[in-house]
Amino acid sequence: MTELNDLTPKHAAVLVASQSVADAELVGKLLQDEFHNVKLSTKSEFAVDDFETHRPSVLVLAFDTLDAAQRYYIGLYRMSTVVHETRHRVVVLCNKHDVWTVYDLCSTGHFDDYVLFWPATNDAPRLRMSVHQALRIMAAKEQAGDVAPRAAPAGVNAPNKQPAKPVEADTDTVFVGLQAGGAQPAQTAPGTHAPAPKAASPAPQRLAVLIVEDDEFQQKLIGRLMNGLDIDVLFAGSGAQAIEQMWEHKPDLVLMDVGLPDTNGVEATRKIKSIGQFGHVPILMVTGHSERNIVVDSLKAGAADFLVKPFDKNTLHEKLRQFLPGLAV
């Protein structure tokens, strides 16, 4: 028999899942003023335990990509023995590029609601209202006698009556969007943890480096120094273009020129680092001089290191080795 939950904002269980501790904390803070039982789940090895321990009435997927949110949610259904019987509704946070896709997913029942949230939280009350609405819908269904758990996502088979072993096939990609390592999540699952997904051999992904430089000659020069590397080289000629490239391509490293036509490299670095999804991406400042104030301001903005012009191929490759450990140079 399905257990009924207290669906009032004071007691209703809300779980925020994300690959980023900073993003999860941001979303958690926005909710905690009105919902008093909010927990966070940010580590892949505890994803199933966090859900099974908290048994949320509302699951908020705060991933940086829609694909990562889908992998996480399908992964729960493949590896958890209780998610199938847990009454809950799912709210997914998305960016403007994914609005129509996530709309289709919600309209077909894969998710229940979405909030246009990234990169700027322009409508924070919308997130709270979505959670309120989810609880109201669940309460109305309960009052009408409909206490059936939500249907599994498309492509996930219903469980057998006997608890099944966690599915090992393809689990290496299920939680790839979750952050491995980093700070412990606010939700600490007690007892014995479920085993982490077995590591397989995922298809290798090419690394990408974004060069933010308005001078076309310098773009070509730096790009030429990277010829022959197993790497995708992206270009942006302004701070605004840099932000667009970050969202579109998710580069692994940024080379940021100090002087840009619409802003300066320090301010552009600060803006990129203020976006939770990109906080881990190293940014190397590229400058023709190394005045102390530029160095200090760049470090305060979140820069990881510097490249002083003119630099040669060996110097650049050494920096790439340092900040892209997976790159064969």
Give the H/E segment covering residue 268.
Answer: helix 265-273
For range 48-74, the mean pLDDT: 93
Lookup: tokens for 98? 């994914």
pLDDT of residue 290: 64
Q: How far apart are CA 48 and CA 163, in angstroms?
A: 14
pLDDT at 41 over 50: yes
Give Cα 174 to chain centroid, integer Å.
14
DSSP letter (8 states) at residue 153: P
Q: What radius of gyration, in Å, describes the C-alpha atoms of the chain?
A: 22
Residues 6+ apart with CB under 8 A from 144: none
pLDDT of residue 121: 65
pLDDT at 168 over 60: no
Q: Does domain 14-174 have CATH number 3.40.50.2300?
A: yes
Cβ contact 201:243 at 8 Å: no
Q: Look at the block and give the residue holding tokens 């050494």.
A: 318
Residues 6+ apart with CB under 8 A from 301: 266, 267, 269, 270, 273
pLDDT of residue 184: 39
pLDDT at 189 over 50: no
Among 6-10, 176-180, 241-245, the minimum mean pLDDT is found in 176-180
Among 189-193, 239-243, 305-309, the minimum mean pLDDT is found in 189-193
Lookup: tokens for 84? 């199938």
- Architecture of the CATH domain 207-323: 3-Layer(aba) Sandwich (3.40)
Highest mean pLDDT among 7-16, 179-188, 276-285, 314-323: 7-16
SS3 labels along 27-70: HHHHHHCCCCCEEEECEHHHHHHHHHHHCCCEEEECCCCHHHHH
Give span(s): CATH 3.40.50.2300, the chain: 14-174, 207-323
Per-residue pLDDT tens for 140-156? 988 888 888 888 887 56
